Amino acid sequence: MNTWHDKLSQQLFGAEDFATLDWHFCLVVDATIFLVVLLIAALSFIIFRKMLTGVVHKMIQKTSNTWDDTLLKSKLSNWIAMLLPALIVLKAAPHAIITRHDGVTIFADTVQSAATISIIILAYLAFNSVLNIIERIYQRFEVSRELPIKGIFQIIKIILLIAATILIISTLIGKSPVLIFSGLGAMTAIIILIFKDSILGLVAGIQLSANRMIARGDWIEMPKFGADGEVMEVALTTVKVKNWDKTITTIPTYALISDSFKNWRGMSSSGVRRIKRSVNIDMSTVEFLDTTQMAKMQQISLLTNYIADKEKEIIAWNQSNKSVDTTNKVNARSLTNLGTFRAYIREYLHNHPKISSDETLLVRQLQPSEYGIPIEIYVFTTDNEWIKHEDIQSDIFDHFLSILPEFGLRAFQSPSDQSFLNLNTHR
């Protein structure tokens, strides 16, 4: 016989024995005792949470690290503190509620089941908070940019959620969770179908991390999905890219394995950035340099040595070929304004403080077309910041376009229909 109920029944109803009370009165006794248990559980939660929070505060204050401040911002201490009252209710329910209905302790079993489910949920939330804390702390370190773990943690969370769900179901139906786990084997095909994207994303995420193909903060281009910007997040099933126009593009993780994309990380880490641009020269302005023009070119400081060396080379070649009529420019070797302009560009870039001398420096003439003769510049700036790089590139081409007349050259520009009309009118 339960002495708690006997004493309480004597105090409330003057009954000599709990069993002599009416069933409804028994419920009142059980409810009264259970309310006391709930009160004790609530007090234990308040006291334990205060103690736990105090201990965590003291531990964090003693360290000089900043990453442990993440513990204060999480709800981990709340979930752990709530486990204690749930355990008290679970253990006290069989002793606090002993009233039977049709020979079954249905009320005690219901309370125990609710307490068990609460413990499962709280344990899941506590583990989830631990994973979130670890992820936030990990993201503070530089290695997180190269090896993202968000996808792995999402898989762990899914596994924990499935396990918690199975435990809750087994508690509700009163069966062993082993039976439910064994039954999942027959549902493997359905599970694979449901979690197809997650499974593909997990495999892709492992490949991306293992091969270091993509990381948070990388600049990637993927025209198929309209992505051109910085990687914000590498998750289990998706990769979020913040485009330069401030829009967000979401790409399936496995698409980064199955399709091609461009990652600009190499450029960012190298410290240099390429300029590859052409100036189209009007072919009708290309000509040989005469003596007057040669003298003018020699006054350009960057061309002084070039002109002197070329003059010696041309004179030597012409003297070694005495049979050649040097008065005819077609027969003799001569400098052209276009070749001299290319030499000037090369010297100018060699002396430019923002052009890398350790990387490829190339000035070349491309295939002539209906748009003139392209003179392509292929160099690398020592500042790879986007805005500064564009400024350097613009300044260089501003200079080249402005000095074209000094070489007797003109940039090609497609005439408009109105220009042709005006030209024909003047004729």
pLDDT tens string 314-364: 878 777 776 555 566 666 678 899 999 999 999 999 999 999 988 999 999
- Cβ neighbours of residue 145 under 8 Å, at least 6 residues apart? 215, 216, 217, 218
**One-letter amino acid of 135:** E
Strand partners of residue 281: 373, 411
**Token digits for 96?**
């606090």
Instruction: Return the sign of the alpha-carbon dihedral for residues 203, 152, 220, 274.
Output: negative
Q: For the CA atoms of 18, 22, 27, 33, what is the dihedral angle to 10 degrees?
A: -30
Report pLDDT for 402: 94
> What is the C-alpha separation between 96 and 132, in angstroms, rounded?
38
Question: What are the CA-CA distances from residue 166 to residues 32, 79, 103 (Å)?
Answer: 33, 20, 29
Report pLDDT for 27: 64
Report pLDDT for 400: 95
Please list the ranges in the chain whose pLDDT falls under 70: 1-30, 60-61, 63-72, 95-106, 108, 145-147, 181-189, 191-192, 194-195, 198, 210, 322-332, 415-427
**Cβ-contact 177, 120 below 8 angstroms:** no
> What is the C-alpha separation between 235 and 149, in angstroms, rounded?
8
Residue ranges of the chain assigned to CATH 3.30.70.100:
273-417
Residues 90-139 pLDDT 10s: 887 776 666 555 544 557 677 788 888 888 999 999 898 888 888 888 87
DSSP state of 414: P
**DSSP result, 208-247:** HHHTT---TT-EEEEGGGTEEEEEEEE-SSEEEEEETTS-
> What is the C-alpha separation between 30 and 38, in angstroms, rounded?
12
> What is the C-alpha separation between 262 and 218, in angstroms, rounded?
10
14: left (phi over 0), alpha (psi -120 to 50) or beta: left
Nearest to 237 by CA among 223, 228, 250: 250
Q: Report how far Cα 316 is from the mean position of its chain's Cα atoms.
A: 62
3-state secondary structure of 317: helix
Report pLDDT for 394: 95
Give the other-Cβ count within 10 Å of 10's Cβ. 13
Nearest to 267 by CA among 382, 173, 378: 382
**Cβ-contact 56, 77 below 8 angstroms:** yes
Segment (H or E) for 314: helix 304-320
Residue ranges of the chain assigned to CATH 2.30.30.60:
205-269
Report pLDDT for 56: 72
Q: CATH assignment of 205-269?
A: 2.30.30.60
Report pLDDT for 100: 53
Strand partners of residue 240: 233, 250
Name the CATH topology of 273-417.
Alpha-Beta Plaits (3.30.70)
Burial level of 244, CB count in 10 A (0-12/13-18/19+)? exposed
Angle between helices 76-96 and 106-138 (to 10 degrees): 170
3-state helix, strand and coil shares in percent for the chain, rounded to the nearest 5: 60, 15, 25
Give the other-Cβ count within 10 Å of 190's Cβ. 10
